[in-house]
Chain A
Amino acid sequence: MTLTAEPALSTAPDPDRPTPVGQRLAPLRRAWRQLTSMRTALLLLFLLALAAVPGAFLPQRGLSPVRVQEYYAEHPTLAPVLDRLSLFDVYAAPWFAAVYLLLFVSLVGCLVPRIRLHARALRTPPPPAPANLTRLAASDRWTTDADPAAALAAARRVLRGWRRTERAPSNGSGAALSAEKGYLRETGNLLFHLSLVALLVGLALGGLFGFHGSALVIEGRGFSSTVALYDDFTPGRRFAPEDLVPFGFTLEEFRATYDDDGRALDFAADVDWTPDAGDPDAARATYELKVNHPLTIDEARLYLIGHGYAPHLRLVDAAGEVAFDQPVPCLPQDVNFLSTCVVKVPDATGEQYAFEGVFTPSTVQDPDTGRVTSVHPQPDIPGLTLVGWTGDLGLGSGDAQSVYRLENRSRLEPVDEGDPRLIEPGGSWELPDGAVLTWVDTPEWVTVQVTQDPGKRVALIASVGMVLGLMLSLFVRRRRVWVRLVPAPDPAGPDGSGGRTVVEVGGLGRTGADSFAAEFAGLVERLREDVPPREPSEPRPTPAPARTGARP
């Protein structure tokens, strides 16, 4: 694959070069040539763009498994079909991998011969001048009093920084200089495409040997990085649990600030962390974890990605025993942090209890309907609206239950006919059977994400290479300039010894013809200053007018 074809200066391999491969391999060779051809690469490129589209419109497991479940619920017949086609895991799908792997094989197949050719081009001097320089798009010719050697020296000065080579013209008299510039264009092109391969390697390293996981932590509580303690843990295929950085932290305080309209201004969590949770003597430090401000512990990075409220509830059952006493994380449902949660109390004497709660940080209750809403995310007038249930929670069955959802409803009886009860912080609700539920206080919770990605650095370096390579391959122009100096006997000269020289200059710019015309004119101008045309000035053909997009 190339970014730009440069027919005249191309280093692309000659497709028809005979190879010593046997006749039997011909079909294979044809297939390989087909795969590494630009047309195939183009088609694969467009196929890649097309293949990425469904993932942007259908919910993806990698992004939000919950939304995939919702999609299943909404489209019960369509969803399994889509799932069979991996459309909920597009970017991990075999067909998606097939497209990009073919593309990369095609790319590598194209790159290897081009690298070889470019390496050769870098060692090869610029080609000799064409027979007739004045036929080139940019050319000039004049006669000067300077001798060929002096003119050659001047040409060398003017073309400093160009790759040059000097050859004696075939007729043996005078001198000729070939100069070329802009090799960096192809270097950049190759760098860009090689960086793409490196980027894929970086992505693969991260995907194989890294992991990411998240955990919900309530103020005052701690967390240590062991697989079992993550709420969600996604290891790479080759990730080994012993690669986990064994850090731990305690969430001391979470602060959120909002403006009067409820727009969030800042979130920050103070954590007290240690690089080794298993070692009580390990040094501890505090860190203010913020959005865009992660904590780095060795290979692990810790991010603040969510927050909410966790009302601390205590249930004293009819027998006077404390059956439940802990904060319950409520999940935010709207921008003003109206949050829902479920409290399951399986261990009370006699009956089991469950509560569905709606937490509202700034509570407003509609006087007619009794509906509660929150008008601001800050806990100004906190309220907790509860609906109680008693009966069998179904926890004994051994099936895993979500802590955020109430299941087994058919075996539960609503308390007070399911009337919601709104309580305030410190308030309590005495149930008909004598049990008392008390809202003790309201700590906040945060979700942290932990990531270890060993391929990150490779990907970053590759990205820098990509941008650099692109800029070189799009902005550098490859061009050639030839200077030919032919001694001309001067019968009109004072004594015939001051040699007269015919200076011929020609240039060829394959890319960016407009700016090359200007550059060429500048070179000629400087050369004319050093080896001035003999008076009276000879007609000086203007370089071919540059073609521009503007109309005359």
Chain B
Amino acid sequence: MTDEALGLLSDRSVAAAVLLYTLAMLALAGEQAARSSARASTRKEAAEAARRATAERTRMMATAGGPAAPPPPPPAAASAVAQVRSRAGWIGMALTLLGLVLHTVSVVTRGLAVDRVPWGNMYEFSSAAALSAVAIFVVLVARRSVDRGLGAFLLLPVVLTLGLASTVLYTPAGPLVPALNSYWIKIHVAAAVICTGAFLLSGVVAGLYLLRDRFDTRTAAGEPVRFPLSLGASLPPARSLDRAAYAVIAFAFPLWTFAIIAGAIWAEAAWGRYWGWDPKETWSFITWVLYAGYLHARATAGWKGRKAAWVAVAAAVALTINYYVVNIFVVGLHSYA
């Protein structure tokens, strides 16, 4: 295939991926909605069933210890809803996977078309980072570390990122500016791409934690919950959202540290100093400090939970500022990216 054909294939596949992600988002949102309404209508029965199931499990564990028997079937009405919701969920996941495949094809063919790493400008970086976010999400769903329903909330920023990348930030396939001509682009930018995707995911999860947490507080106090707080009803428990956000950040933080250090080593070779408080460096530093703060906060009494989640959200906002605001509006040495 010629470079032009590959470039075109890349553009087409990313468009198809956006379409699939959008459909996946709708399907997963449908599942969430069904879950939420099922919960509202059969909250009593569900609670009863859950109580019975727990009692059953406890009994079995206390005596035989064999594999727990399936919980008793829920009432008929709830069962129909449950079926629809489960189907919507599976369709959503299948569409996400298909979108991920096409998205990967797009990134790879872009790389082949330009004969270099496919993260040399803002368009390519956006696409690769979005790919990283979706890929990490899929891996975590497969490992059962996060609920697939979160996909609806993750795919929204992913689709927006890709949409913005393919329109405003679009750059036709072309060579790199000489300053980027270094093997460090493979190391420094690849690490930054993976981390950006991971931090996007953790930002979404931490935001959902806050939503669920507020929902729980309101519900416990008997106060009414309105949209968007009512979305909390279909979210996983706050505790598991907290764990998922931590897992992603604990994975990404050392990598982010490495990305900054690799960038410093590259800066030393390119600009004659390893740290110069260039706006991009400064914002990477701010992001780094905030994530370090998150890891400490999560282990500090009075900070764990809500406050720590706010720090994770703030860090994700800093990362976004570092990407869009610093790249587009602030003059600095990273202005080509």
To the question of whether A and B form a pair in one complex, the answer is yes
Residue in B178, B237, B240, B253 whose beta carbon sits within 8 Å of that of A266 in the complex: B178
0/1 interface trace, chain A 169-190, chain B, CB 8 Å (1 if under): 0000000000000000000000
**CB-CB < 8 A to A467: which residues of B?**
254, 257-258, 261
A89: shortest Cβ distance to chain B, in Å?
10
Which of B91-99, B195-203, B222-230, B273-281 makes up part of the contact surface?
B273-281
Query: Scoring B residues 170 to 198 as 1 if CB is less than 8 Å from chain A, else 0, what string do you get?
Result: 00001101110110100000000000000
0/1 interface trace, chain A 250-276, chain B, CB 8 Å (1 if under): 000000000101011111000000000
Q: Is there contact, CB below 8 Å, between A39 and B302? A: yes
Give A63 Cβ to nearest chain B Cβ, in Å. 7
Give me the interface of A with B, judged by CB distance under 8 Å. Answer: 1-5, 38-39, 41-42, 45-46, 48-49, 52-53, 55-57, 60, 62-63, 67, 90-91, 203, 212, 259, 261, 263-267, 290-294, 301, 303, 305, 449-451, 453, 456, 459-460, 463, 466-467, 470-471, 474-475, 539-542, 547-551
> 1/0 contact trace for B268-287 toward A, CB 8 Å?
11111111111100110110
9 new A-B pairs (CB below 8 Å) besides A42-B296, A293-B269, A550-B236?
A: A38-B296, A38-B300, A49-B290, A449-B271, A470-B257, A474-B253, A548-B145, A549-B147, A550-B146
Q: Which residues of A contact B174 (CB under 8 A)?
A: 259, 261, 263
When the two chains form their complex, are residues A49 and B269 in contact, meaning their CB atoms are under 8 A apart? no
With the chains together, A53 CA to B282 CA distance in Å? 8
Contact at A451–B257, with CB atoms within 8 Å?
Answer: no
A539 near B272: Cβ-Cβ < 8 Å:
no
Residues of B within 8 A of A63 (CB): 276-278, 332
Q: Which of the residues A265, A292, A475, A541 comes within 8 Å of B175, measured between beta carbons?
A: A265
**B160 at interface by CB-CB < 8 Å:** no
The secondary-structure label for the interface of chain A is mixed
Nearest Cβ on chain B to A187's Cβ, whole angstroms: 15
A549 contact from B65, B244, B297, Cβ within 8 A: B244
- Pick the 10 closest A-B CB pairs, nearest first: A550-B144, A5-B299, A549-B240, A292-B182, A56-B282, A49-B289, A470-B254, A303-B272, A451-B272, A449-B272
Q: How far is the CA of A55 from the CA of B279 in the complex (A)?
A: 8
**In the assembled complex, which residues on chain B have CB atoms less than 8 Å from the CB atom of A453?**
273-274
Chain B residues positioned under 8 Å from A303 (CB to CB): 270-272
Contacts of B76 in A (CB 8 A): none
Whether B240 contacts A292 by the Cβ 8 Å rule is no
Interface presence of B292 (CB below 8 A): yes
A263-B257 contact, Cβ under 8 Å, with A52-B286, A67-B331: no
Whole-angstrom distance from the CB of A223 to the nearest CB of chain B?
A: 15
B282 adjacent to A212 (CB under 8 Å):
no
Is A212 a contact partner of B272 (Cβ separation < 8 A)? yes
Q: Is the interface of B mostly helix, strand, loop or mixed?
A: helix
Contacts of A451 in B (CB 8 A): 272-273
B276 and A471 contact, CB distance less than 8 A: no
B284-337 residues at the A interface, CB under 8 angstroms: 285-286, 289-290, 292-293, 295-300, 302-303, 311, 318, 326, 330-332
Given the complex of chains A and B, what is the CA–CA distance between A394 and B44 in angstroms?
92
**Docked CA distance A264–B332 (Å):** 18
30 contacts between A and B (CB under 8 A): A2-B296, A4-B295, A5-B299, A46-B293, A52-B286, A57-B330, A63-B278, A203-B275, A212-B272, A291-B178, A291-B270, A292-B181, A292-B182, A292-B184, A303-B271, A303-B272, A305-B271, A451-B272, A453-B273, A453-B274, A460-B265, A475-B250, A539-B63, A539-B64, A547-B240, A548-B240, A549-B247, A550-B145, A550-B240, A551-B236
How many angstroms between the C-alpha atoms of A46 and B311 in the bound complex? 9
| In the bound complex, CA of A323 to CA of B277 (Å) | 45
Q: Kindly list chain A residues whose C-beta atoms are within 8 Å of the C-beta of B214.
A: none
Residue of chain A at shortest CB distance from B150? A549
B61 within 8 A of A: yes
A56 touches B254 (CB 8 A): no
- In the complex, chain B residues whose CB is within 8 Å of the CB of A551: 147, 236-237, 240
Q: Are A56 and B279 in contact (CB under 8 A)?
A: yes
B241 CB within 8 Å of chain A: yes
Is A542 within 8 A of B65, CB to CB?
yes
Taking the complex as formed, is B264 at the interface, i.e. its CB lies under 8 A from any CB of chain A?
yes
- B65 and A541: CB pair below 8 A? yes
The answer to whether A474 and B297 touch across the interface, beta carbons within 8 angstroms, is no
CB distance from B106 to the nearest CB of A (A): 23
What B residues does A46 contact at CB under 8 A?
289-290, 293, 311
Closest to A214 in B: B272
Question: What is the minimal beta-carbon distance from A488 to any residue of chain B, in angstroms?
Answer: 21
> Which A residues are CB-close (under 8 A) to B146?
549-550
CB distance A294 to B272 under 8 Å? yes
> Taking the nearest CB of chain B, how far is it from the CB of A55, in angstroms?
6
Return the chain B residue nearest A474 by Cβ: B250
Contact of B144 among A291, A292, A548 (CB under 8 A): A548
B243 at the interface (CB under 8 A from A): yes
- The chain B residue sitting closest to A448, CB to CB, is B272
Are B300 and A549 in contact, CB atoms less than 8 angstroms apart? no
Rounded to whole Å, the gap between the CB of B4 and the closest CB of chain A is 15
In the complex the two chains form, is B61's CB within 8 Å of A541's CB? yes
Contacting pair A259 B175 (CB below 8 A): yes
Contacts of A212 in B (CB 8 A): 272-273
Nearest opposing residue in chain B for A301, CB measure: B272
Q: B181 touching A291 by the CB < 8 A rule?
A: yes
Measured in the bound complex, the distance between the Cα atoms of B65 and A277 in whole Å is: 85
